[in-house]
Amino acid sequence: MDLKFSHVDVLVNNLEEACAYYARILKARISKTLVWERGGLHVRYAIALIGQERFMLVQPLAGNLKELLDASGEGMIYRHCYSTPDIEKAYDELMVAGVQPEDENGKPLARANLQSPSGGRIIWLPKRFGHFSIEILEDKAIEAFVEAAFS
């Protein structure tokens, strides 16, 4: 599988406070606020960019990430995200390896349903080690999404 590191996702209680902190302390460029809502999951988030490195600050409002934030507290890196030039190939390789890709709520994800609310195509690996998860995104889509978030 052809993967490259994209970003990490970090849980926060207050998105504006977290964005202001990283902008002030680390001189991070902060994207506009974005919303993801599907299947009971509802979050507000922003991208923090420091040079070429980025992370997403995620404030859960409902769903499994809200439960995780309430149980574990903020500042938790709960996901590593990678990109690939061919999301279908990544999906197929996972299936051949005996791994059923999932959606953001941990439900089996059909190959025909890779489209996300943000427009890109995404798959998640099942969680094997606690709350930590791996997300795989389509290269061109994530780069276009990040660029649009800062415009």
pLDDT for 8-43, tens place per residue? 999 999 999 999 999 999 999 999 999 999 888 899
pLDDT of 34 reads: 95
Token pair of 49 as six digits: 């960019």
Q: How many angstroms separate the CA atoms of 51 and 27, rounded?
A: 10
Q: With a cut of 80, say whether residue 119 has pLDDT above it.
A: no
Q: Are 131 and 78 in contact (CB under 8 A)?
A: yes
pLDDT of 117 reads: 73
* Helices marked H in 27-118: 64-72, 87-96
Token pair of 81 as six digits: 């995200």
Domains of the chain: 4-149 (3.10.180.10)
CB atoms closer than 10 angstroms to residue 106: 13
- Whole-model pTM: value is 0.88
- Average pLDDT of the chain, as a whole number: 93
Q: With a cut of 90, say whether residue 115 has pLDDT above it.
A: no
Tens-place pLDDT, residues 42-61: 999 999 999 989 999 999 99
Q: Are 63 and 40 in contact (CB under 8 A)?
A: yes
Q: With a cut of 80, say whether residue 145 has pLDDT above it.
A: yes
- Which DSSP symbol is given to 119? S
pLDDT band at 81 (very low <50, low <70, confident <90, very high): very high
